């Protein structure tokens, strides 16, 4: 059986999740469900990044122990599984024993490329990264729009510079394929400027005793990105060189990371170099999505412009939230969230679109006393144009999904719904003509096909359509 491994980035737990986190998890869920539908053995991973200094600072502000804060916030991130109907197979927390042991093992495997030196630089706690002066925007962190602090101490460094030529070749030749092309070019341009070695530890004093210790040096804590990136293999029992690790990582040619544009460099360069150093298999694809914005600004806890996904689902329903984020937000670009846009999409596409179409066919079948339009495997659709439209839709849908064009895949499904609406108007089955049952059988066949196509995107709606449960989406007032 073909294997498929997919992961999201793991999230900081200095606060509760927002709709930007939901976007990435839903995108990954669609891909995972699609590959299961293809009959592949899928391992879908997500989780939380709990060893960051920003988590320590948040706990201090709240006046509670760090462990208590990360536990309560990690629980909230896990609850997205039910709220968003996510199908992940594992949820890794970087405070778990399996992760700590795996991260320390990876450090040991990279030991030949690790050395210690004194260093002074500009550090962003939000990014957990050192920046050079020319990388700042107006003297501020390009991600968090805040001043950086000057940090000077003795730390361990990883010889990233040693892998410059190898990384360039790997990315140029798509051995690690970065999607979209613009993000690939961004990484290649960064390599062209010359890679410098990266700091991969911090003093236990600056880390305030929180994080994964460097085994041979109790004065140092692993840089949270070094330990965080290793989650993709620690969740597969890398610490024990387990069967899952061999099956889904080492021997698997279908490994996908889905990450936001702000952490492309960490995955495309740092993570790839760490794997090269440890002589481990590389990921095959890194899909880089844009940000969910609010009034044109990145949705961020630090900026205070977040949308609560739990409240959003409570008000509109899980599949309505999934639909908006997948249809309205361009997969590789930033997309703005407003309640006005949300409700407009809901009423036009869900209530008046798919909801109205399924209810309409169901009502006509009931009126004409066609108790159940059951489609079996031997059924041949009568209308050739409708048959061709369904085939074209499936082909376009598959191409779009394989290129992570979630919005375009949904668009072609809704074009099929529109085609069916026109077919109803042309044939007028409500008049009870001789061919009415045939027309409604054709439409029922189309509805079942639409339900199959919707399953990765709107899993509960797909089930409801197959059971002809209406209304699917009551219109918002």
3-class secondary structure per residue, 317-356: CHHHHHHHHHHHCCCCCCEECCHHHHHHHHHHHHHHHHHH
pLDDT for residue 471: 95
pLDDT for residue 363: 92
Q: How many of the other CB atoms lie within 10 Å of CB of 255?
A: 22
d(CA 395, CA 216): 55
Please state the pTM of the whole predicted model: 0.93
Are 260 and 289 in contact by the 8 Å Cβ rule? The answer is: yes
In a 3-state reduction of DSSP, which class is residue 287? strand
One pLDDT digit (tens) per residue for the chain, 477 residues: 999 999 999 999 999 999 999 999 999 999 999 999 999 999 999 999 999 888 998 999 999 999 999 999 999 999 999 999 999 999 999 999 999 999 999 999 999 999 999 887 787 776 777 777 777 878 888 776 778 878 778 999 999 999 999 999 999 999 999 999 999 999 999 999 999 999 999 999 989 999 999 999 999 999 999 999 999 999 999 999 999 999 999 999 999 999 999 999 999 999 999 999 999 999 999 999 999 998 787 777 667 788 999 999 999 999 999 999 999 999 999 999 999 999 999 999 999 999 999 999 999 988 887 655 554 444 567 789 999 999 999 999 999 999 999 999 999 999 999 999 999 999 999 988 888 988 998 999 999 999 999 999 999 999 999 999 999 999 997
Are 35 and 1 in contact by the 8 Å Cβ rule? The answer is: no
User: Would you state the structure tokens that stand for residue 191, as one six-digit string?
Assistant: 């390599």
pLDDT for residue 378: 47
**b/e sequence 398-410, b meaning 16+ C-beta within 10 Å:** eebbeebbbbbbb
In a 3-state reduction of DSSP, which class is residue 59? helix
Are 131 and 141 in contact by the 8 Å Cβ rule? The answer is: yes
pLDDT for residue 376: 46
- Give the phi and the psi of residue 202 in degrees, each rounded to 5: -145, 160
What residues are annotated to the active site?
A: 18, 21, 124, 127, 141, 144, 298, 301
**b/e sequence 297-311, b meaning 16+ C-beta within 10 Å:** ebbbbbeebbbebbe
CB neighbour list of residue 377: distance below 8 Å, 6 or more residues apart: none
pLDDT for residue 373: 52
Give me the DSSP letters along 399-445: HHHHTT-HHHHHHHHHHHHHHHHHHHHHH-GGG--TTHHHHHHHHHH
Listing from the earlier edge strand, what are the strands of the sheet with 201-203? 201-203, 217-222, 213-214
In which region does residue 92 sit, left (phi positive, over 0), alpha (psi from -120 to 50) or beta (all else)?
beta
Q: Please, which residues bridge with residue 11 across strands? A: 48
In eight-state DSSP terms, residue 140 is B
pLDDT for residue 371: 55
Q: Tokens 């927002």, residue? A: 18
Q: Dump pLDDT digits (tens) for 22-65.
A: 999 999 999 999 999 999 999 999 999 999 888 998 999 999 99
Are 215 and 104 in contact by the 8 Å Cβ rule? The answer is: yes
User: Would you state the structure tokens that stand for residue 302, as one six-digit string?
Assistant: 């630090």
- Average of per-residue pLDDT values in the chain: 93
Q: Tokens 């997500």, residue? A: 46
- Which one, of 454, 446, 327, lies nearest residue 397 by Cα? 454
d(CA 124, CA 130): 6
Domains by residue range for the chain, with CATH: 346-466 (1.10.730.10)
d(CA 266, CA 263): 5
Q: Tokens 């391992």, residue? A: 43
Are 429 and 368 in contact by the 8 Å Cβ rule? The answer is: yes
């Amino acid at each position: 059986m073909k294997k498929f491994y997919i992961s999201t980035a793991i999230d900081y737990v200095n606060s509760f999740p927002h709709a930007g986190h939901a976007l990435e998890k839903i995108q990954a869920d669609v891909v995972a469900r699609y590959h299961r539908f293809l009959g592949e053995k899928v391992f879908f991973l997500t989780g939380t990044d709990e060893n960051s200094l920003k988590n320590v600072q948040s706990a201090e502000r709240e006046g509670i122990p760090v462990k208590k804060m990360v536990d309560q916030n990690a629980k909230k991130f896990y609850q997205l599984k039910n709220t968003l109907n996510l199908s992940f197979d594992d949820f890794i927390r970087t405070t778990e024993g399996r992760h700590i042991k795996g991260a320390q093992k990876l450090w040991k495997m990279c030991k030949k490329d690790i050395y210690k030196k004194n260093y002074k630089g500009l550090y962003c706690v939000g990014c957990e990264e050192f920046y050079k002066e020319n990388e700042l925007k107006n003297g501020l962190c390009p991600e968090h729009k805040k001043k950086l602090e000057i940090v000077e101490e003795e730390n361990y460094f990883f010889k990233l510079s040693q892998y410059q030529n190898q990384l360039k070749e790997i990315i140029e030749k798509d051995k690690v394929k970065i999607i979209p092309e613009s993000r690939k070019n961004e990484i290649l341009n960064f390599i062209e400027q010359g890679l410098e070695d990266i700091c991969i530890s911090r003093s236990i004093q600056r880390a305030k005793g929180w994080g994964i210790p460097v085994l041979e040096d109790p004065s140092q804590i692993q840089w949270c990105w070094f330990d965080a990136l290793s989650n993709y293999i620690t969740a597969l029992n890398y610490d024990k060189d387990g069967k899952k690790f061999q099956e889904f990582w080492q021997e698997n040619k279908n490994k996908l990371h889905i990450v936001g544009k702000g952490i492309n460099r960490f995955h495309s360069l740092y993570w790839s170099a760490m794997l090269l150093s440890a002589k481990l298999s590389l990921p095959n694809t890194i899909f880089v999505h844009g940000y969910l914005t609010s009034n044109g600004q990145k949705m961020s806890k630090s900026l205070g412009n977040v949308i609560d996904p739990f409240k959003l689902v409570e008000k509109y329903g899980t599949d309505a939230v999934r639909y908006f984020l997948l249809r309205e937000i361009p997969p590789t670009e930033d997309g703005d969230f407003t309640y006005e846009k949300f409700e407009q999409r809901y009423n036009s596409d869900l209530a008046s679109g798919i909801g109205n179409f399924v209810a309409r066919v169901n009502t006509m079948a009931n009126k004409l006393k066609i108790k159940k339009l059951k489609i079996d495997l031997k059924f041949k659709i009568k209308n050739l144009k409708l048959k061709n439209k369904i085939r074209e839709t499936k082909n376009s849908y598959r191409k779009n999904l394989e290129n992570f064009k979630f919005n375009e895949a949904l668009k072609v499904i809704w074009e099929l719904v529109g085609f069916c609406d026109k077919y109803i108007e042309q044939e007028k089955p409500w008049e009870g003509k001789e061919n009415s049952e045939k027309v409604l059988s054709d439409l029922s066949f189309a509805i079942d096909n639409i339900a199959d196509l919707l399953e990765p995107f709107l899993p509960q709606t797909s089930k409801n359509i197959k059971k002809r449960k209406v209304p699917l989406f009551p219109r918002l007032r």
